[in-house]
Amino acid sequence: MQSQHESNTHDTDTESPAALELSDVVIVERVLAGEVELFRILVDRYQRPVYRLGFRFFRAVEDVEDYVQDVFLKAYLRLSQFCRRGRFYSWLMRIAYTHGIDRSGRKKSLVTTEYLDSPDPRQGTEETALRSLAREELRAAVADLPQPAGACVDLFFFFELTHKEVSRIVGIRVNTVKSHICRAKRRLRERLANTQAEAYYEV
């Protein structure tokens, strides 16, 4: 049993194209069957969003790194509890969100931090301008809203989770989540309309 486990642990090539194309569910099943090294693919795939969420709870990079490590190890330890019907990503984000609240001692609140925007190759296009406007407005919405409404908006727009997934993560009803998000979208819509009107008058 042990020798088989060990050979699996060290022989799996996680950087081969075939391994990189594996779906999350297949990887989870193979990790549970003993191919521990394949877990690395899941770490590489989802490290960034967990990192970003970490910055909502902690300011120091070292704290965020410890947090990311804990979240993935927790996920590994609970891998057998992963229900294959849902997305692995949303299951992981649930662990990450709960762990963030437990570790940082904050109750259902997220600290929003400013991101450093990367230079976009299509900088100056209307697309980029629209997107940065949306980002700015939604960030302001997250900051203005009381919790857990702010967390709902944050997770929906900046982490691409669905209404149902956000509801499961934050622990509030789907309809409440929907109305928080709808309100944020309405706010964004108004902002977009105003900007358009301003641009019209400037011309």
Partner 1 sequence: MKCEQAMEAILRLDNGAEPDATTQGHLSNCPRCRAEYSQLRRALDGLTKSLENASDVSAPDDLHRRKQVADRIMSAVRAEAERVAARQTDSGSQLRRQTAPASQNLAGGTGWIAYSTWISVGVLLLLGIIVLPYTEGFLFLRGVMERDLDAPLALTLGLVMSGYWALFIGTHIADLRRRLRRLHRAFSRA
Residues numbered 68 to 107 that lie near partner 1 (CB under 8 A) are: 68-70, 72-74, 76-78
Q: Is 57 in the site for partner 1 (CB under 8 A)?
A: no
Backbone angles phi, psi at 111, to 5 degrees: -90, 125
198 is a site residue for partner 1 (CB under 8 A): no
Nearer CB in complex with partner 1: 10/107: 10
Nearest CA to 90 out of 135, 46, 36 is that of 46
* Closest CA relative to residue 92, chosen from 37, 24, 32, 14: 24
Shortest distance, position 189 Cβ to partner 1, whole Å: 6
Q: Contact positions toward partner 1, by CB under 8 A?
A: 1-2, 5-6, 9, 36-37, 39-40, 43-44, 47-49, 51-52, 55, 60-66, 68-70, 72-74, 76-78, 113, 115-118, 120, 126-127, 130-131, 133-135, 138, 156-164, 178, 182, 185-186, 188-189, 192-193, 196
